[in-house]
Structure 1
Amino acid sequence: MSDLVVIVYPSEQKAEEVRQHLIALQKEYVIALEDAVIAVKSEDGHIKLNQLVNTTAAGALGGSFWGLLVGTIFLMPVVGAAIGAASGALAGALSDFGVNDAFMKDLAGSIAPGNAALFVLIKSMTADKVLEDIKGFGGVVLKTSLDHSKEQALRNALAGLPANAGEAPTPPAA
């Protein structure tokens, strides 16, 4: 099961810096991401989603390849490529994977104009290593599907605090 984490940053640049850092951690096999999207709220209240993968462009590229191939069989490669690209772009625009776009826009509506929310869908991670690597990046946790102890550890790491700060002390064994 995947975990969703939404963190608000004061700017799109800071959110992008954290996203790039998480992608670098993914290359080290410390975290496996399903999706990482930045939602930015403009001064006029419009929400822009900065996706990792442009599904419209990917669909157009794949569609043009298959359209070219089918068009070549029927001796009309240009027409086939054009029809394939158009249908692939349409299919890509209508597809949505990872975090639901409507959910992201709705939740990002609650942030202040100029701020950016980083939506991360985590497939798996080595929590202690990830928390150590993102320590001190800042940001405010807006929403998570983590349990309370993991969420508090995340909040502490973003604030640059020790992982167990803010927890009730455990009594010594008798």
Structure 2
Amino acid sequence: MTGFKWLHQDPPGLVPAWYLPGGDLASALAAAGGPAAKAKVLLRAATRLRLAPLYVLAVAVIGFLLDRADPQTRNHLIAANSTNVANLDQHRVWTLVTSAFIVTEPLGVLTVAHLLLLTGAAELLWGRRRLFEVFFLTHVVASCLVYALLRTGIRYEWVERTVATASDVGTSYGAHAVGGALAFSLPVRARRVLVPLALAAVLLPLVGERTFTDVGHLLSTVIGLLAGWQMRRRPLAGRLRLPARMRDDRPMAFAFGTEEEARTALATVLHLQEHHLVHLADAVVTWSDRAHRIHERETRDLGVLDGAMAGTAWGVVLGTLAGFPVAGLVAGAGVVAVVAGLHDAGLPDSTVVHSARAAPPGGVVLVLLTDRADRTRLTSVLAGVGGAPVGP
């Protein structure tokens, strides 16, 4: 939504604090009686894993083979796949991908177990698509940011020129991002402990003899925290345009007595969306206060801040490909922030305003844009949690 001047957007807190993609696993664990029952739940869930074990296996096998290669071949392969200044200045962009599969030392059993547990937990909670986005896209973005910092540092002689050919490979950027995203996307009580711990783990190395890799770990963790924040704020974000089949559809609107009831209903609908039981394009919680101001909380449309963050990531990557990472970062942040502020990617403002005005006094409305085939299911589900249809 582009937002009228009198349209008020509330601070983050879109869905209940306990909502989390894959939250059914947490519910199943809570319902399990003892350690044996909980273990069975986890083992059943582990059979759904695909991306995490394949990636960890690939890294472990490559590390095993490199360890048995002769030193010259091993060093050449590591240097050829490093996301360092020398390679990226030569537009060897494949290193942004291959560096995530190369390790300088063979993975030990504990390292393999840690990486598998971390990525496996993320895949179970978020699904394969979100794990891929957080792990691999953050690896690429963090590598480009480190490249931009080092390139600037070398130009102004803030760092030694030898750093241009230093090896920069491994799984740590993606792993730190996944850890940060998990820390922020978990329920509130856990988040209060895990977020400071995730930040402390990457800030403490910077106090001593810091390296550019330590800076990369900090950047990756911050990107991961932002990703976890966005999962909670904008769970339906990702597409610039609505699906063609839904653009002319009339939205559904359901009135609730309180905001908490509407947010609970929204969490229920998002749960159905996560399990592909409905096809939801947008969802907005809206209401009108005594001063006749319209309040709304969205799940899809990006604001200026969201656009600036997305633009920074894409800008630095495209700038790296073109040879101008800092210029790409600045331009991307500015352009996408403006586009996000002007572009209405979700439900139109007029529809949200009309739904808020149509609600009973003091009521809160959940407005949904979904496939026509899902209307019967959603009507039944929302009626079960106290929702009353609004409008025709």
When the two structures are superposed, what TM-score results if normalisation uses the length of structure 1?
0.67
Q: Deviations over 1:28-81 (max 9, x none)?
A: 33211111111122222111221102412442233212322354445461x432
Report if aligned partners of 1:31, 1:126 keep a CA contact under 8 Å in 2.
Answer: yes
> Are positions 1:18 and 2:265 aligned together?
yes
Match of 2:388 in 1: 140
* Structure 1 Cα separation of the partners of residues 269 and 310 of structure 2: 28
In 2, distance between residues paired with 1:112 and 1:5? 16
Residue of structure 2 equivalent to 1:60: 308
Distance in 2 (alpha carbons) for counterparts of 1:70 and 1:31: 35
SS of 1:31 mapped into structure 2: coil
Distance in 2 between the 1:116 and 1:59 partners? 28
**TM-score computed with the length of structure 2 as normaliser:** 0.33
Matched, 1:27 2:27: no
1:160 maps to none
- Which structure: greater helix fraction? 2
Q: Does 1:91 align with 2:339?
A: yes
| Secondary structure of residue in 1 paired with 2:333 | helix
Using the alignment, how far apart are the partners of 1:66 and 1:25 within structure 2? Answer: 31
- The reply on whether 1:6 has 2:253 as its aligned counterpart is yes
For residues 27 and 13 of structure 1, the distance between their equivalents in structure 2, rounded to whole angstroms, comes to: 21
Q: Which amino acid aligns with 1:64?
A: T
Unaligned runs of 5+ in 1: 145-174
Instruction: Summarize deviations over 1:77-135 as a string: whole Å, max 9, x none.
Output: 1x432331121111112111332122211331233554211101112545665455444
Secondary structure, aligned partner of 1:109: helix
Bigger mean CA deviation after superposition, 53-62 or 116-125: 53-62
Inter-partner Cα distance in structure 2 for 1:27 and 1:66: 26
| Structure index of larger Rg | 2
What is the distance in 2 between the residues matched to 1:131 and 1:109?
21
User: Which segments of 5 or more consecutive residues in structure 2 lack a partner in the other structure?
Assistant: 1-244
Which residue is equivalent to 2:140? none
**Which of 1 and 2 has higher RCO (CA within 8 Å, sep 6+)?**
1
In 2, distance between residues paired with 1:76 and 1:27?
36
